[in-house]
Amino acid sequence: MGSTPIGISGSRAAAILGMSKYKTPFAVWQELCEARRPGFNAERGYILEKFEGNASTRFGLAFESSVIELTEAATGKQITDREGEYYLDGEVPITCHIDGRFSDSHIFEGKTVYERGFRLDWGEPGTDRIPQAYAIQVQNNMMVTGTEHCTVGALVFPKSPQEWEDEGWSAERGSEWHDKNIDYLTNNITGDGSTTKQWAQSLAQMGYFHQYPIQSKPDTQKLLKEMYLDFWNRYVLTETPPEITDYEDIRRCFPSPKGTLVINDELASKFREYADIGKELGTGGYLKKKQGELKTEILKICLEKTTVADDESQEKVVFVDESGNKCGQFDGKTFRASK
């Protein structure tokens, strides 16, 4: 094993297929091109963001060992090869990182999820109904490791990790201040503290721990390989960007826009629609999604048109209609439509 070479991993696979909530095909393309040719993004003026983690990843890492312990207790089987890394060479390099394995033919994947998301995305415990992105990840991992079975252990939190952090709780992995093999939760407001193991055991006793048996699906794995190869050959090897799908994609590949762009009546009407939604918008729901789609559609024009810098818009793109009326602006971070 050793250091895993660059390639398409299970989490990247879900993004490539458009099934990830956290990453787009464009973001994966950036990472792969940078790994193959360091300096690629800087050369193009793109922002390559390093993911620093969030509440979900912090709690997920802190509870990793506890989920394994719960699984071992429930199955009576030991989990070995923790944090194992594997590589499948071929026309396209494919990698995986497993949480552990029961045997040569049976791997393990541990997940943490908060209750609302669990009710929406997970099926009955004991079935193979897990979220699509995880299903892709698991099939990828079984394909790379050559295994036939995977057990997914899911520990459900009654509240989201972000809600817990808002209440003062922080998840700490073992450190020099504590036993390095024990992960802790501490409350920065009340001073309370506990090990993640104690929390996990309490949650399991309340029925918040579940297991899902997954079988290898050769047809699905064959299809994954075909889709990986298409993405690798079409976008990575040619360094041709895939389609931009959201606002964050645009922000990463157009960080310092400048100039004035004259837009047609159709696009000007989209600015007016965006502004009108803003007047009646709350904090989410359908209108919020629609507004985000409009913003992305409008800003994609920034990447397709040549803008001419002038004295009034040196640090942003200003959109004006054919009559010279300002419709909105974008400075690389913030998008605004004129009211």
Beta bridge partners of 328: 319, 337
Q: What is the per-residue pLDDT for 67?
A: 95
Q: What is the per-residue pLDDT for 256?
A: 65
Could you tell me whether strands 326-330 and 149-157 are parallel, antiparallel, or unpaired per DSSP bridges? unpaired
Buried b (16+ CB within 10 A) or exposed e, 77-115: eebebeebbbbbeeebbbbbbbbbbbeeebbbbbbbbbe
Q: What is the per-residue pLDDT for 314?
A: 52
Q: Are 152 and 125 within 8 A, CB to CB?
A: no
Percent of the chain with pLDDT over 90: 53
Please state the rounded mean pLDDT for residues 269-287.
73
Q: What is the per-residue pLDDT for 281?
A: 58
Is residue 280 scored above 70 in pLDDT? no
How wide is the angle at C-alpha 57 spanned by C-alphas 53 and 59, nearest 5°?
Answer: 125
Q: What is the per-residue pLDDT for 75?
A: 94
List domains and CATH numbers for the chain: 10-236 (3.90.320.10), 247-337 (no CATH)
pLDDT band at 332 (very low <50, low <70, confident <90, very high): confident
Q: What is the per-residue pLDDT for 278?
A: 73
Cα–Cα dist 178/139, whole Å: 37
**For residue 241, which of 25, 10, 13 has the smallest C-alpha distance?**
25
Task: Kindly report the number of other CB atoms within 10 A of residue 53's CB atom.
Answer: 10
- In this predicted model, which residue has the larger pLDDT, 251 or 85? 85
Is residue 86 scored above 70 in pLDDT? yes
